[in-house]
Amino acid sequence: MTTEENKVEFRGTSLDLISVDDTFYFRCTKCGKCCKERDDIILSPYDLYRMAKYLGKEIEDIINSYTRWHIGESSKLPIVMMRMRGEKRTCPFLDKHKCRIHEAKPAVCALFPLGRIAQENGDIRYLIQPIFCGGHDKRQTVREWIAEFGLEESEAWFRTWQETIVPLVRRVNEIYVKVSEMVMHQLEEVLFITIYLAYSMDEPIIPQFQRNIAKMDEMLTCLEELLEENDTREEKD
């Protein structure tokens, strides 16, 4: 995805970016098409937290039962995705054209047909995805659509996530080229636990995420210092 000030390149198509008070036309007809043949439902810690809380489970239970995860090729960070089922690759929460976790569905699902990006200046902008479902006779602002799904807090989360992940990706990539495969796998495990699992359902997630990242920052700093010392010793030798 590439962006200009008011345009975004999305899956080979140039789309206009809109703001939270801009309007768009869409009405969900509960056809279920957006819940099938999907391999791109990425779940954030915020999504997993809301799903776990809604279902009365722990995040680890949600991950084990409904998701798959891998290490991003370019980010080198764990990426958690919804694990679709059957030949039609159907969401595990789709039941007779209705979402069983509608009130706590992942942000990427709740926002549909909208997409969301963070620009370099920190502004959050939206795009209307090219779609071939639903009705186009209902007019609403982006803000109204977000409020309908109780996603106001997700805006604060999305901004916090973007501000954190960009520098984290840079640091982790710099470390990866200097460590052994064993250390790499150990780091991946620590990243997965710290970013996705280490949360209490009794506290808001954003402060917990910020504390987790602060601990991760300390650990990465120690590792960077050890690697720097090793580089210095090798130069002297």
Q: Which of 43, 91, 54 is nearest to 196 (CA)?
A: 43
Domain limits at 217?
A: 155-228
pLDDT computed for residue 161 by the predictor: 94
What is the band of 2 on the pLDDT scale with cuts at 50, 70, 90? very low
97: its two tokens: 């054209």
Q: Checking phi first, is residue 112 left (phi over 0); if not, alpha (psi -120 to 50) or beta? A: beta
Q: Which of 112, 131, 151 is the last residue of a domain?
A: 151
The tens digit of pLDDT for each residue in 146-163 reads: 888 888 888 899 999 999
What is the band of 236 on the pLDDT scale with cuts at 50, 70, 90? low
Answer yes or no: do 120 and 69 share one domain. yes
Say how many domains are in the chain.
Answer: 2
How far is Cα of residue 167 from the mean position of the Cα atoms in its chain?
Answer: 16
Answer yes or no: do 147 and 67 share one domain. yes
Answer yes or no: do 138 and 27 share one domain. yes
**What DSSP letter does each residue of 54-109 carry, written as one string?**
HHT--HHHHHHHHEEEEE-TTT-SEEEEE--BTTTTB-TTEETTEETTGGG--HHH
pLDDT computed for residue 11 by the predictor: 65
Domain presence at residue 142: yes
Task: Inform me whether the pLDDT recorded for 219 exceeds 80.
Answer: yes
Answer yes or no: do 172 and 61 share one domain. no
**3-class SS of residue 30:** coil
Q: Report which residue type is found at 4.
A: E
The tens digit of pLDDT for each residue in 151-202 reads: 888 889 999 999 999 999 999 999 999 999 999 999 999 999 999 999 999 9
The tens digit of pLDDT for each residue in 82-134 reads: 999 998 899 999 998 889 999 999 999 999 999 998 887 778 899 988 888 88
Answer yes or no: do 25 and 84 share one domain. yes
The kind and range of the H/E element at 26 are strand 23-27
Task: Inform me whether the pLDDT recorded for 234 exceeds 80.
Answer: no
Q: Which of 122, 151, 180 is the last residue of a domain?
A: 151
Answer yes or no: do 134 and 170 share one domain. no
Q: Which of 151, 171, 206 is the last residue of a domain?
A: 151
Residue 175 contacts residue 224 (beta carbons within 8 Å): yes
**DSSP state, residue 196:** I
> What's the farthest any 2 CA atoms get from each other in the chain?
73
Q: Which of 107, 105, 126 is nearest to 117 (CA)?
A: 126
How far is Cα of residue 104 from the mean position of the Cα atoms in its chain?
Answer: 15
pLDDT computed for residue 1 by the predictor: 45
pTM (two decimals): 0.89
Stretch 216-228: mean pLDDT: 94
pLDDT computed for residue 220 by the predictor: 96
> Facing residues of 125 across strands?
117
Domain presence at residue 237: no
Domain presence at residue 41: yes
The tens digit of pLDDT for each residue in 18-54 reads: 999 999 999 989 888 889 988 889 999 999 999 999 9
Answer yes or no: do 177 and 210 share one domain. yes
Answer yes or no: do 164 and 194 share one domain. yes
- Quote the crossing angle between the two packed helices 45-55 and 59-66, to the nearest 10°: 100
What is the band of 143 on the pLDDT scale with cuts at 50, 70, 90? very high
Domain presence at residue 134: yes
- Lowest mean pLDDT: which of 5-9, 35-39, 204-208, 219-223? 5-9
